[in-house]
Structure 1
């Protein structure tokens, strides 16, 4: 893994890159477009754990991930997170694309990162070859809001917040409040991803855990029905975090999806 800081007008973004290296795995494909990962509401590069390396080996492609502004080792977010934060992430991605000269790329987003990936796929339709959403919300439903409230309560003990601070430092409270308060705000009442999904032009695979505590199966089915690609989502026997609960299976499914397009 290689890391760097990408300077943007809004602040520095912590970026990491993985290339396939292990012997006996799929041969590296230098001409293949890289996969860019977008993390969830409490996530960062470190919380992808071993998945980026597994994905690089399974697909033979370079994998790039970055901490969003306000998360992980990136600079603090300047103020309160706006309700437009999902669509706004296209600005950070534009800086990443320019820096690495990404003519073509694949997007993979987890949870709200999948929402951002769908937005970016539409904003950068000229270069997005494929989109993979994992445990992604397509609309706000009671299960989503209830799950967030339960998680908020779980972070009440100081030890729980200390674990979050391990990854986000003194930004941990901002990270938690941005998640909880934004999704329960009036601006998000009735929110859907529908407009972004209609702009997606590339093949799309919606992946979802059968036991996801933040979204019913109606979520991936809505994504699959409104984008090019398989009409039905790919379901996994896990909860909301497949890259931690069944990372090898997830990496293989993504590799299979992309191999058809190689």
Structure 2
């Protein structure tokens, strides 16, 4: 059975230190010449919340997989400010660029879950010559009624006694900020007109959009938009009996889809 070598480090940025973890097939040196996969977590996520998916993906793809906690999340530096309205687009020039520079990442595969998928798309659009592929999972491309309703329901659930402890397990004392950043941003008037309509045409690489048919935070209109790019090719995969976290609910299906896509469309 192939083994995995893991590495943890902190990357210094203008806003504080970011926690980064990477998984590399230990018996295969091809990763050094292959574009690594960079994972972008969701609005409540962290490196730890990816669980064993990064390792599984690294073994399946025979590539290095890199994940990091954004500022305010997981083991990265705390935040006390309000998320800026264009925080999704700012990821490309902020944390992502800092990590690319520190880890000497040239070509890359951008893989994002939920809002992380939108961030992955922003990075793919910002660095079109370097992004070998864009993979989104349950990603939003605009603010939809279903998204707003789902976040409102989740906010009510987290308001119940003891529910915030679920976030504290991964974010510690930053949990309140994490929850408020998600809810207050997506439900605000200032963010209601956010969209990737002008960003996605700048993505020049192959795109795979995975979406659960029962996703409570977004309809299939989102993966359709991600895969209707002029550069293409775009591949949309709808998973039956699956909600907002396909890599947790259908891990084997997601791994197989990603592996087949990368083998077919990525040659670097």
Does 2:212 match 1:214? Answer: no
1:224-248: CA deviation from partner (whole Å, max 9, x where unpaired): 1135334451111211001111112
TM-score normalised over the length of structure 2: 0.92
Identify the residue that residue 257 of structure 2 maps to in structure 1: 253
CA RMSD of aligned residues (A): 1.4
Q: CA deviation at 1:169?
A: 0.7
Q: CA 1:249–1:157 in structure 2 vs 1: closer, same or farther (change >3 Å)?
A: same
Aligned residue for 1:29? Answer: 30
State yes or no: 1:149 paired with 2:128. no
Give, in angstroms, the shift of residue 253 of structure 1. Answer: 0.9
* Pair 1:4 & 2:9 matched: yes
Q: How many pairs does the alignment contain? A: 258
Q: Secondary structure at the match of 1:37?
A: strand
2:106 maps to: 103
| 1:127–1:232 CA distance, 2 compared to 1 (3 A) | closer
Q: Is 1:124 the equivalent of 2:127?
A: yes
For each residue in 1:168-198, what CA deviation from the matched residue of structure 2 results, as whole angstroms up to 9, or x when unmatched?
1111011011101101111122221111101
Match of 1:183 among 186, 189, 199: 186
Equivalent residues of 1:204, 1:228 under 8 A apart: no
Worse-superposed segment, 223-232 or 47-56: 223-232
Is 1:18 equivalent to 2:20 in the alignment?
no
Shift of 1:36: 0.2
1:205: how far off?
A: 0.9
1:133 aligns with 2:136: yes
75, 81, 84: which is aligned to 2:86?
84
Q: How far apart in 1 are the matches of 2:74 and 2:158?
A: 17
Matches of 2:252 and 2:210, distance apart in 1: 14
Please list every run of 5 or more consecutive structure 1 residues that lacks an aligned counterpart in the other structure. none
Alignment partner of 1:221: what SS?
helix
> Greater shift after overlay, 162-171 or 189-198?
189-198
Contact 2:142 2:193 in 1 (8 A): yes
Q: Shift in Å at residue 20 of structure 1?
A: 2.2
Contact 1:204 1:227 in 2 (8 A): no
User: Which consecutive unaligned segments of at least 5 residues does structure 2 have?
Assistant: 1-5
1:158 aligns with 2:161: yes
Distance 1:104 1:232, change over 3 A: closer
List structure 1 runs of 4+ shifted beyond 6 angstroms.
Answer: none
Superposed displacement of residue 21, structure 1: 4.5
What's the TM-score once normalised by structure 1's chain length? 0.94
Match of 2:246 among 242, 248, 253: 242
Secondary structure class of the residue paired with 1:88: helix
- In 1, Cα distance between the equivalents of 2:182 and 2:54? 24
Residue of structure 1 in register with 2:76 after alignment:
74
Which whole-Å CA distance do the structure 2 matches of 1:20 and 1:146 have between them? 41
**Distance in 2 between the 1:255 and 1:245 partners?**
17
Provide the secondary structure at the position in 1 that maps to 2:209.
strand
Q: Which sits farther off after the overlay, 106-115 or 184-193?
A: 184-193
Would the aligned equivalents of 1:136 and 1:220 in 2 still touch at CA under 8 Å?
yes
